[in-house]
A and B are shown apart, each in its own frame.
Chain A
């Protein structure tokens, strides 16, 4: 369970938002809003990568800093994949870091990455790189997924695969929080327009 109590973010003395929310296992939350309103910052606050100006974030009733790691996976605009390594080396590293090597093969097969496994990442197209980022998500066992516009560069088929992966994660008691433009729609998703929480 993720709970945020009156978290706010101030940048250059300007308050961007103030929000309180509690998310139960199985929740899918889509954060929407115009550019610069703080969508990515809010995701980073949920991840514990950025401190809010005020308020606290709790993961399973413990402060984020005290929560047992790894509890979350985050994919931002920079996808965290090393260009100089092969696709396989990247995926193996992340799955080992999350102690979930058993999920590696499933992640590879889900996105049909067999043919590009020995390729260095810098040789791949933007769409394929994004596929590796999402495959990393599947290969890492974490209860909280934080996704920052991850469907960018995806074609219709891969968007559908991503959609199904998110639904499956939610059905397995995961919590998914994502920023997205219009590509992804979920029946059970909670949509938050962050502009409604702007001060």
Chain B
């Protein structure tokens, strides 16, 4: 558990330095809010609109975020060292958790 939290924190630090994650997530949140506001015409069910939006945007966002997140670790050699220190399943779990955190602005609307 301690290692998992450590890996998550490290991922957050690195991703935030490379991709300015907090800024990007706020922009994404605003973008989705504005998009839904424009799409919603008042007569239709809002939940349906949001659901369609999520079905399209979440897979795209997952692919977009996951690729650089893993590629960075592989190319700079950190992945090898992390596997040696922590084991592969813990790293996979960490990446999934981190991806879920990164995608959380999308789920915010559905709630």
When distances are taken between beta carbons in the complex, the residues of chain A under 8 Å from B75 are: 78
Question: Which of under 10, 10 to 19, 20 to 34, or 35 or more describes the interface residues of A?
Answer: 20 to 34
User: Would A84 and B17 be within 8 Å (CB), given that A78-B77, A97-B6 are in contact?
Assistant: yes
Of the listed stretches A18-26, A88-96, A182-190, name the one at the interface; the rest are far from the partner chain.
Answer: A88-96
Interface size on B, residues (CB 8 A): 20
Q: How far is the CB of B86 from chain A (nearest CB, A)?
A: 6
- B85 pairs with A84, CB closer than 8 A: no
- A73 pairs with B77, CB closer than 8 A: no
How far apart sit A75 and B81, CA to CA, in the bound complex (Å)?
8
Is A166's CB within 8 Å of the partner chain B? Answer: no
Contact residues of B between 54 and 111, Cβ < 8 Å to A: 75-78, 80-87
How far apart sit A160 and B78, CA to CA, in the bound complex (Å)?
26
- A85 pairs with B14, CB closer than 8 A: yes
How far apart sit A44 and B17, CA to CA, in the bound complex (Å)?
30
Is B24's CB within 8 Å of the partner chain A? Answer: no
User: Would A94 and B81 be within 8 Å (CB), given that A69-B86, A78-B76 are in contact?
Assistant: yes
When distances are taken between beta carbons in the complex, the residues of chain A under 8 Å from B81 are: 73-75, 80, 94
Residue of A nearest to B77 (CB): A78
A-B CB pair tally, cutoff 8 Å: 63
How far apart sit A81 and B14, CA to CA, in the bound complex (Å)?
11
- B6 pairs with A70, CB closer than 8 A: no
When distances are taken between beta carbons in the complex, the residues of chain A under 8 Å from B17 are: 82, 84-85
Q: How far is the CB of A115 from chain B (nearest CB, A)?
A: 21
When distances are taken between beta carbons in the complex, the residues of chain A under 8 Å from B84 are: 47-49, 69-70, 72-74
Interchain CB contact (< 8 A) of B86 among A78, A82, A97: A97
Is A79's CB within 8 Å of the partner chain B? Answer: yes
Contact residues of B between 1 and 25, Cβ < 8 Å to A: 3, 6-7, 10, 13-14, 17-18
- B76 pairs with A81, CB closer than 8 A: yes
Is A98's CB within 8 Å of the partner chain B? Answer: yes
Residue of A nearest to B76 (CB): A78
Residue of A nearest to B7 (CB): A97
Nearest 9 A-B pairs (CB), nearest first?
A78-B77, A84-B17, A80-B77, A70-B85, A80-B81, A80-B78, A97-B85, A93-B10, A82-B14
Interface residues of A (CB under 8 A from B): 44, 47-49, 69-70, 72-85, 89, 93-94, 96-98, 140
